[in-house]
Each structure stands twice: as C-alpha cells, then as structure tokens.
Structure 1
Amino acid sequence: MRTIILVGGVIALLTLGKVFFFAKPNTEKAAGGGAVATGKEGGGNKAGAAVPVNVYLTKLETVENTLFASGTIVPNEEVDLKAEISGRLINLNIREGSFVQKGQLIAKINDKDLRAQLAKVEYNEELAKRIEARQKKLLDIEAISREEYEITANNIRTIGADKEVILAQLEKTEIRAPFSGTIGLKNISEGAFLSPGTSVVTLVQTNPVKIDFNIPEKYTRYVRLGSQVRLNLDGDNANYSARVVAVDPKVDAELRTLRVRAVSQNPGNRYVPGMFVKVQASLEGNNNAIMIPTEAIVPVLKGKKVFVVKNGKAQEAMVTTGLRTDQRIQITDGLQPGDSLIVSGIMALKANSPVKVKML
C-alpha cells in the first residue's frame, strides 16, 4: 500500500513539472484564444516566392545561312612527264623547282639512229622526184605509158609517208612542257636508259589553283556554277575568294555528299597543292528568323523546350530549332515575335512558377 502511494506521488510531481517548467517558449496566446507557433526571425524564403530571372524579348532578324566545308587545294594542271620510246637520256634540261614555259625542252633521248634513217629516206625522196620529173616529160610525148608514170609518182608518196613516220619517232625523243608550270623533283638522271613509260619529272601549274570540297546532298540546290565561296587557311586570318566552276553530276551514294570544284587565282603562291582549306559557302538567307541565346534551351525527352513569362509566371513552350551559331540558335516553331523568353535561373523554374522579371 505504501509503495503504491509513493509511485502515485512521483507521477503527480512529474506532471506538475511538465506543466509549469517545460512549456514551449514559442507558443503564445492568439487573439482567439488559440496557440500560434512562431519561428525564429531571419528564416529562409517563404514557399511560392518569385524567382528573379532575366528576360529576352524575341524578335524577327535577318540571318545569313552559311555552309562550312573542308576543302583541298588541287593544281590547275598536273602531269607526270614520261618517255614514249626507248633510248639513252642525253640531256635533262631542268632545274628542280624552277618555272618553265609551255613548249620548253625538258629532256632529250639519243636520236642518232633515227636521224640516219631520215637522211636515207630524204635521199631516196630526192631521187624519186627527179625520176618523176623526167618521166613526166616522156609521158607528155607518149614515150612511156601512164602506168609507168603513176608507179613512179606513187613511189614519191610512199617515201613521203616513211619520212613522216621517222619524223614522228624523232618528235618522241624530245619531252617538252605541255603547259607553263613549276618543275617538281626529278625521278631520273642524265645518262640513264629510258623505257616507254619511265617517269622523268612532274610538272605542276599552281596559278590558278582548284579547290575541291564536298557538301551534304540537302544543300545541292544552293551551290551553283559561278557562285562565290570564301576560303580560310590555317595560320592565316585573311579571307580569300574562289569561284565555283564545276559541280559533280551525281551524289556519292555512300557518303551522301556532292563534290564541288572552285578556282582561285594564286599569284603569290599562297596556296600549295594538297593544302587543307576551310570553305564557306553562302546559302539563301532568312529574313524572318527568330534567334535566341543557346542557354535558354532546355533538352527534354520529347525534344527541346524554353520558358516564357505569361501573367507573371513561367510557362513551358516546346520548340523546334534550326541554324545554330556559337552563341545563338534559330527557333523555327514554338515562339512568336514579342515573347518574353527567360534566359537565366532556368534550373530553378517549373511550370507556373512566379517570376520576378529583369529585361536584358
């Protein structure tokens, strides 16, 4: 009995202590008699506070549509000069890297045997002409038959044909420049024996030069003969121009590209055949394009979206993009001129979030 009384007393003391000594310090009497919780001063932002954002007002602009491609410098003319007949090379009249004119003698093959044959044919031709002259007088007085005269006349023509063959062979002993250009590195030395097809030297014409480049098939209708393209060389900030002179009549079925050739003057030899060059071709521009900062685009599962301000709140808008530069991107669908586009604080936004607008 005494134990029960002690336990009851302890419980009563604990109850009184909780009521009088452990009351909540942040509970105060409300005007209506209810308790109201008060937090610490200087707390965080309240739920639903407006997010400060920068806004860009969309507008129509004129956009230059430029196609970029990688090109290669190609010589205007290039030929590998080779021997046509067999023989010993007796003269190599070139200096490597020098400029030669069209028709200039490059190499000479020994032709003594052919010249001896030519002299023999010329002697026979001279004799045949004297015989033909005498027989012509005899034919006029009917001292010989016409058949005998015609045989002699035909002999002259046959000898003349043999002479033409020898002259053609003599022409092949000389290798001449087919066009003006620069001589490359020689492949053979004087005194060597040449066979038909032996390469002697390469001749390259570098003014003007050709520029070959490929464009995607979807741009084939934009590149036309006579149109101008811009060129940029590595290590050179200057812009150069070239004129389109040829377009391949078919598209590469594997790469789905079209080969285009342009020509540019090269007076200072700034272009070297085989050099890489960056090509810029101007396509049809767009006078009614909407361009926005790239940071305003938010990639999503179904495409791309942006946030616009309507009635003080952020609203989502799905968009379709077009041309892109390093800082801006074209919107082809989803925005209208005059829309208030949000370009900052995007990660903190969701649909219908209240925003505090600051115009750019």
Structure 2
Amino acid sequence: MNRGLSETRERTAGRRVRSWHVAALVLVLAVGGLLLYAFWPVLTGREEVTRPEDVQASAPPVAVEAVVVQPVDFPLRAEATGTLAPWRQTEISAEISGRVVERRVEEGDRVAAGQVLVVLDDEEARLALAEAEAALLKARSEYAVQLSQSGAAGIDSTRLAEARRAWQAAQEAYARGEIDEAALDEARQRYEALLLLSGAQREAVRRVVTGLAEAEQRVARARLQLNRTRIRAPFAGRVADLQVEVGRHVSPGQVLMQLLDDRRMKVEVDVLEADLVHIRPGASAWVRLPALGDTVVAGVVHTVNPRIDPKTGAGRVTVAVPNPEGRLLAGMFAYVALETRTLPDRLVVPAEAVLVRQGRDLVFVIRNGRAQWTYVTTGPRSGDHVVLLDGVAPGDTVAVSGHHALAHDAPVEVTAVHPAFEVND
C-alpha cells in the first residue's frame, strides 16, 4: 500500500513539472515576439523614426495675434491714482441778507462770467440809495454856496516851498543819522499843515467841511449794496450743488451753490521720490478713466510740488487734462501714468508677449508659419510694455495672444498684427 501511494505521488509531481515548463516556454515565446516586432524595422533596414515636427505637421495651426518689433523711443512712466477735480471752483455765497425772489440757474447749467445767478429782494437797498442821493444833492448845494462866497487867498507859495525844502533836508539828515525821528516828524507835520492851507488842498478841505465827501461815500456804499442783490458768476463755469430756492431768506456768507470751471480738469497724484526727480512741468501724462470704459485722455504735467513728504516719501504732481466736451466729471477715479524719461531706439513688446519657461523669459517668434521658442533678456518695464535687450531683431514678428500653450516649432496662423508700441498705450 505504501508502494502504491509513492508511485501516485511521483506521477503527480511529474505532471506539475511538465506544466511549469510549458508556461515558461509560452512566456519566452511571447517576449521574443514582442522584441522581434519592436526591432524588425532595424533588422530589415526599414526603420521609421517619428519626429516631433512630423507630429506637429499633422496638427492644425494655432491662431495667434502678433506684433512686429521695431525700434521706438520708449517713455518710462510712473503710475499713480487720483480723482478728477475742476481746474478751479468756488462757493457762491450771499454778501447781504435778503429774500430770494429769482433763481436763474439749475444744476449742470453753464454760465458766463458776470451772469446773474440769483436775485434778492432789492426794495430796501433802493430806498437806501435814494436817501443817500438826496443827502448828496444837499451837500453839493452847500458846497456850491461856500465856494461862491470864498475869496480868501492861499498860503504864500514861498513859505510852502521853504517848508518842502526843509522836509526834504530833514529826510536826508535822518538818513545820515544827524537828527532823530522826532525832528523828522516835526518837519513833515509843518510841511503838511502849510500844504493843507494852500490852494492845492483848499478844495478838499471845503468838501470835507460841507459834508460833500461823506455824502458821496454813502451813495457809493448804497449802490454797492444794491448791486449785491444780484449774485453773479465770478467766472465762466458749470453750476453744481444748488442750495437755494425762491422765497428763502439768506444771510451774509451763506453758501448758495458751487461754480466749477471744468473746461479743463486736474488730477493731483502722489509720486514716489525715485520717479518724482525725473518729472518736469510740461511732461506728457496719460489719464485712464474706468467710468468711461477705460478711456485714455492725454494730459500734461502742470506743476511739481518741490517738497517730498518725509512720512510717505512721495511728492504731489498736478496734471492738467482738457475737457472740451464736458464728459469728465469732478470726483471721477483715474489711473495716471506720468512720463519720467525716454529711452531712445528700444525694441519694445507688450508684457503679455513674454512667457516664463524653466525659469527663463522667452517669446515666440513667428517664422515661416511656425512659432520659434526664443529666449530673451528683458529690460525696463513701463505700464504694459517691456524692453527686450536681446533675442529678437527689428522686423521680427512676436506672438502676443494665443501663444501660452504653444510648443516649439508649432504651426501657427497669425490672425491679426498690432503695433508693438504706441505713445498713448
């Protein structure tokens, strides 16, 4: 029995050995077939190597937009933000008290210099003027009577001439330190007294004595008060912030409205000292207004404050901006770019043209319908543009849009060509 069991085990082990051999043989044949397939083109001399350009040649061209690089004078700019303000503005206030009987303007109206804006009740002012004119007539009558009765002779001209010479001599002596201030005053007072009694001053004295001069002053003052019942525009501009209605009583100094001279606007910005030292009055400026769809308006540097705030390290620059159509409104937020200096003959591209790959700057130069991966060295940046110091040459076409996922030598189609740089960019 033991013998039969032993023979059974030997037959089973033999079958296991043969099954393992068969599996190993199949595996070897499979690996050999794969190797033969892989190296068959080499063994037969019909090798086919797939190249990247062959794969790219089968891909459709990528649509890109580009710029043609040419040497330009590149202005460096300092950037800041601010708000628009009228070139000048003022509060229109009442100078006298009174009731408003007429308002001739509305908010937003344009007015000329001297135009009447508000009319106050002028009845009391007219009565005061009439009284002053009556008093003036009386004073003139008294003056005429005294003038007709006067026959007195004036002071001897010789005495007046001597007093004048004494006064001049006293001034010279005082300048040399020979007399004191009291002696100088005595000579002056003697000369003025004789001058007052002479014919040269007699008429002025008579006008004061008769009250004619005072009456004339009262009339002038009454006319001034009457004129102040008509509130006028001190300069041409636009009305804003109306605070007065017909029938309302106003007091002296009370603000009635604002007047804005907005034919030209200004924006004041703070510029860091590193840029401020390069900015001069008359330099170009560009003002971008988000409220008007990012409209860019050309302006000019009007003034540069010669003082830098030690707390902020910045100084104030005032930019003048034309506003002939009145589209620019006071208080609008603005981005301002100020020209600091200009670099001549530079190759400039939009900053979006420059990509970073493997830690280096590059652009895609379009040649013969393909995008060439080209390393560059960048220089100064200003706004949305950057100077390229090397890597490109004048006349090169550089991709600026649709190029972020491009590979080297990829086929491209240029759908639009833009200027690389314009002054108002």
Alignment of 1:1-360 (within 5 A): 64=74, 65-140=76-151, 152-155=206-209, 156-233=212-289, 234-236=291-293, 239-283=296-340, 284-285=342-343, 287=345, 294-296=354-356, 322-323=380-381
SS at match of 1:261: strand
- Structure showing the higher helix proportion among its residues: 2
Q: Distance in 1 between matches of 2:305 and 2:313?
A: 13
Query: What is the aligned-residue identity percentage?
Result: 22
Structure 1 residue 207: Cα displacement: 0.9
**How many residue pairs were aligned?**
311
Structure 1 residue 278: Cα displacement: 2.7
Aligned residues of 2:77 and 2:382 also touching (Cα < 8 A):
no
Q: Return closer, same or farther for 1:140/1:101 CA change in 2, 3 Å cut-off.
A: same
Q: Distance in 2 between matches of 1:267 and 1:287?
A: 35
Q: Return closer, same or farther for 1:124/1:40 CA change in 2, 3 Å cut-off.
A: farther
Q: Return closer, same or farther for 1:229/1:40 CA change in 2, 3 Å cut-off.
A: farther
Aligned residues of 1:212 and 1:259 also touching (Cα < 8 A):
yes
Q: Distance in 2 between matches of 1:358 and 1:97?
A: 61
Structure 1 residue 62: Cα displacement: 5.9
Q: Which moved more, 1:121-130 or 1:168-177?
A: 168-177
Aligned residues of 2:304 and 2:318 also touching (Cα < 8 A):
yes
TM-score by length of 1: 0.63
Aligned residues of 1:128 and 1:152 also touching (Cα < 8 A):
no
Q: Return closer, same or farther for 1:78/1:294 CA change in 2, 3 Å cut-off.
A: same
Q: Distance in 2 between matches of 1:122 and 1:110?
A: 20
Q: Which residue of 2 aligns with 1:315?
A: none
Q: What is the CA deviation profile of residues 225-264 of structure 1, one whole-angstrom value per residue up to 9, with x for unaligned ones?
A: 1122223334536543112211222223333322222223
Q: Distance in 1 between matches of 2:276 and 2:203?
A: 70
Q: Distance in 2 between matches of 1:90 and 1:249?
A: 49
SS at match of 1:94: coil
Q: Distance in 2 between matches of 1:229 and 1:190?
A: 45
Q: What is the CA deviation profile of residues 87-109 of structure 1, one whole-angstrom value per residue up to 9, with x for unaligned ones?
A: 22222222332221110111122
Aligned residues of 2:113 and 2:234 also touching (Cα < 8 A):
yes
SS at match of 1:202: strand
Amino acid at match of 2:281: L
Q: What is the CA deviation profile of residues 295-320 of structure 1, one whole-angstrom value per residue up to 9, with x for unaligned ones?
A: 4476xxxxx8789xxxxxxxxxxx99
SS at match of 1:248: strand
Q: Return closer, same or farther for 1:69/1:118 CA change in 2, 3 Å cut-off.
A: same
Aligned residues of 1:229 and 1:279 also touching (Cα < 8 A):
yes
Q: Which residue of 1 aligns with 2:8?
A: none
Structure 1 residue 219: Cα displacement: 0.9
Q: Distance in 2 between matches of 1:322 and 1:297?
A: 20
Q: What is the CA deviation profile of residues 141-165 of structure 1, one whole-angstrom value per residue up to 9, with x for unaligned ones?
A: 78xxx89987642141122222233
Q: Over aligned residue pairs, what C-alpha RMSD do you find?
A: 5.0
Q: Return closer, same or farther for 1:192/1:297 CA change in 2, 3 Å cut-off.
A: same
Q: Return closer, same or farther for 1:331/1:108 CA change in 2, 3 Å cut-off.
A: same
Aligned residues of 2:108 and 2:238 also touching (Cα < 8 A):
yes
SS at match of 1:188: coil
Amino acid at match of 1:154: V
Aligned residues of 1:80 and 1:199 also touching (Cα < 8 A):
yes
Q: Distance in 1 between matches of 2:382 and 2:322?
A: 32
Q: Which moved more, 1:229-238 or 1:59-68?
A: 59-68
Q: Distance in 1 between matches of 2:319 and 2:253?
A: 32
Q: Distance in 1 between matches of 2:348 and 2:117?
A: 63
Unaligned stretches of 5+ in structure 1? 1-19, 27-38, 43-51, 53-58, 299-303, 308-318, 339-356
Structure 1 residue 125: Cα displacement: 1.3
